[in-house]
Structure 1
Amino acid sequence: MTQLTIVANIVAKQDKIDLVKQALIKLIDVTREEQGCINYDLHQDNESPEHFMFYENWQSRALWQQHMNNKHLAEYMATTEGAVESFTLNEMTHIG
């Protein structure tokens, strides 16, 4: 099993920064309790407060996919519908 690193970039619409931030914060504790979660760390850009980034490590891609199908992620999507300008996700492998 290969560990999986996820880098997720979320850019909120200017008038929805607080809404998106609060919705993202709600994901942290519940996700850290999930099977396979090594770390799940949320960051906010110092120069562009609308830009958030999750840095995550999972024991496997299969366990990360279970996370992606969990209820709290669906609730986040519903809460932030129309509030996110862009979202990019990179699946990465640690090489050194």
Structure 2
Amino acid sequence: MSKLTIVANIKANPDKIALVKKELEKLLAVTRAEAGCINYDLHQDNDNPAHFMFYENWESRELWQTHMNAPHLAAYMQATDGAVAEFVLNEMTRIG
């Protein structure tokens, strides 16, 4: 099975930046401890603080799917309901 890279871009509503950041940070330790997680790195845009990006690598798509159905992700979705303006996720494969 090939490894999977995820690039997830999250754009918070301008008045909800602190809330979204706090909730995203809660995901770090618990996700990094999950089976198959190689790295799970959160970034914040230097020019646009409402823009967050996860760069993730997983042992397989199946293990990433387990992560996507985890209770802590559901809790994040509930906590940030209405606070995220845009969410774009790309599943990628390293080619070089």
TM range (shorter): over 0.9
In the alignment, which residue of structure 2 is the partner of 1:39?
39
Q: Determine the C-alpha separation between the residues in 2 that align with 1:60 and 1:78.
A: 26
In the alignment, which residue of structure 1 is the partner of 2:72?
72
How many pairs are equivalent?
A: 96
Overall identity of the aligned pairs, in % = 70
State the SS of the aligned residue for 1:52: strand
TM-score with structure 2 setting the length: 1.00
TM-score with structure 1 setting the length: 1.00
Tell me by how many angstroms 1:66 deviates: 0.1
Show structure 2 runs of 5+ residues with no match.
Answer: none
Q: Which amino acid aligns with 1:88?
A: V
In the alignment, which residue of structure 2 is the partner of 1:3?
3
Tell me by how many angstroms 1:46 deviates: 0.2
Tell me by how many angstroms 1:74 deviates: 0.1
**Deviation per residue, 1:37-59 (Å, 9 max, x gap):** 00000000000000000000000
Tell me by how many angstroms 1:24 deviates: 0.1
